[in-house]
Amino acid sequence: MDNRTFYVLLVLSLQLVFFGCTPSEPTETEPASEELESNVSSSQYTDMRVTKVVGGLENPWAVAFLPDGRKLITERPGRLKIIENGSIHEVSGLPDIHAQNQGGLMEISIHPDYESNGWIYITHSKPNDDNETATALIRAQLEDYALSNVEELFVQNRYSGPGRHYGSRLAWTLDGKLLMSVGDRGSDPPRAQDLSDHAGTLLRLNDDGSVPEDNPFVGDNSALDEIYSYGHRNIQGLIVHPETGEIWATEHGPRGGDELNQINPGENYGWPVVTRGLAYGNQDYFAHAEARGREGMVDPIYEFLPTHAPSGLALVTSDNFASQWVNNLLAGGLRSERIRRLVIHDYEVYHDEELLLKEIGRIRDVRIGPDDNIYVLTDHSDGALYRVEPE
């Protein structure tokens, strides 16, 4: 054996000992920074490119877009992140948050006049001294990577055991009022029929948290002034049409019975007296339900079948993807791991197409960005923000 052959064999042996691989299996190296991942997904009328904008998020709940291009993302365990030039920074100054199961840091929305006033609105599960929680709303301003001028605007009037059905979506009406959903809190569903309780309602507030004088129950001593509609189980998708002002909401049923509703002031949407869902654990009727529909209670525009577990709702307002998509609703799904594209005409769903079916996981939030592309958050311990754009 000559020296050259010996040297080659020695190098190969060292590779096997120290790297645990053969010459045909190159060693992996850590990338200097996270690279964007993208792939093409098919849809009717258009192909879409799905790109991971940022990963490593722990159960992200909502995303909001600042006018300067930065993005704010809430993480349910109680952190607020800002995405800036590809970097992630944590924002300090949040209030005390009780993060357990479905509770924690949730919705985020910026004021329609943000460029003049700088207000950011955030919801969270607020604890009391008895280990109970309530859905709460704050507003604050952003200074570098800290919240300042933090103001508590609303806390629901009855605390209860932590962990379930906080609702917590926000949306702005055309007249500058703030809509806020509050879930039924899970353990006592009939609260959603009690107008002296904020649970199971959609609220309408002024931007400072006060009550608009034209709210439907103002002057009714048996009802809370903040309530705009009631009989809701857990609204986690909420948008206002920017031209018509129509309010659309998606909410969780029990086992089945996930709904799309068009919301009108003062109306009762039935939960839990009326539901199309069944009880957990079996296929029996839900314990508190008396019917699938009842006079005086509003039927859903659409029932998602099979179970969708809706969270996040967006309205397509441009032909960025296809002209056929304009005015379609995009309803994210947690358990179903997909987006449902809903074509609506005269308050009836004419077509329902599944997008991103099982491609990125549990979908928590869906938004249309300033660039008219779709942004999606996945609800995982290693969640991510994705951008969906035409291919």
Overall average pLDDT of the 113-140 stretch? 98
Does the structure show a pLDDT above 80 at 389?
yes
pLDDT at position 41 is: 87
Does the structure show a pLDDT above 50 at 17?
no
Spot the catalytic one: 111, 165, 198, 252: 165
> Of 49-53, 145-149, 266-270, 281-285, which range is least confident?
281-285
Give the 3-state DSSP-derived string for the chain, with helices as H, strands as E and coil as C. Answer: CCHHHHHHHHHHHHHHHHHCCCCCCCCCCCCCCCCCCEEEEECCCCEEEEEEEEEEECCEEEEEECCCCCEEEEECCCEEEEEECCEEEEEECCCCCCCCCCCCEEEEEECCCHHHHCCEEEEEEEECCCCCEEEEEEEEEEECCEEEEEEEEEECCCCECCCCCCCCCEEECCCCCEEEEECCCCCCHHHHHCCCCCCCEEEEECCCCCCCCCCCCCCCCCCCCCEEEECCCCEEEEEECCCCCCEEEEECCCECCEEEEEECCCCECCCCCECCCECCCCCCECCCCCECCCCCCCCCCEEECCCCCEEEEEECCCCCCCHHHCCCEEEEECCCCEEEEEEEECCEEEEEEEECCCCCCCEEEEEECCCCCEEEEECCCCEEEEEEEEC
pLDDT at position 277 is: 79
Could you read off the pLDDT of 278-326 as tens digits, one per residue? 776 666 666 676 667 788 999 999 999 999 999 999 999 999 999 999 9
Could you read off the pLDDT of 42-73 as tens digits, one per residue? 788 889 999 999 999 999 999 999 999 999 99
pLDDT at position 390 is: 95
Give 196 or 288, the one with higher predicted confidence. 196
Backbone angles phi, psi at 46, to 5 degrees: -160, 150
Residue 316 in tokens: 């397509």
Closest by Cα among 167, 169, 187, 189 to 179: 169
Overall average pLDDT of the 188-205 stretch? 97
pLDDT at position 380 is: 96
pTM of the model: 0.89
Mean pLDDT of the residues in the chain: 90
Residue 139 in tokens: 């507003």
Strand partners, 125: 135
Tell me how far apart the alpha carbons of residues 97 and 134 are, in angstroms, rounded to a whole number: 10
Domains of the chain are: 39-390 (2.120.10.30)
Q: Is 345 a catalytic residue?
A: no
> Of 30-34, 35-39, 277-281, 299-303, which range is least confident?
30-34
pLDDT at position 32 is: 27
Overall average pLDDT of the 364-390 stretch? 97
Give 225 or 16, the one with higher predicted confidence. 225
- Give yes or no for a contact between 61 and 365, defined as CB atoms under 8 angstroms apart: yes
pLDDT at position 10 is: 40
Give 113 or 282, the one with higher predicted confidence. 113
Percentage above 70 pLDDT, the chain: 88
Could you read off the pLDDT of 201-237 as tens digits, one per residue? 999 999 999 999 999 999 999 999 999 999 999 999 9
Does the structure show a pLDDT above 50 at 33?
no
- pLDDT-derived band at 119, boundaries 50, 70, 90: very high
pLDDT at position 29 is: 28
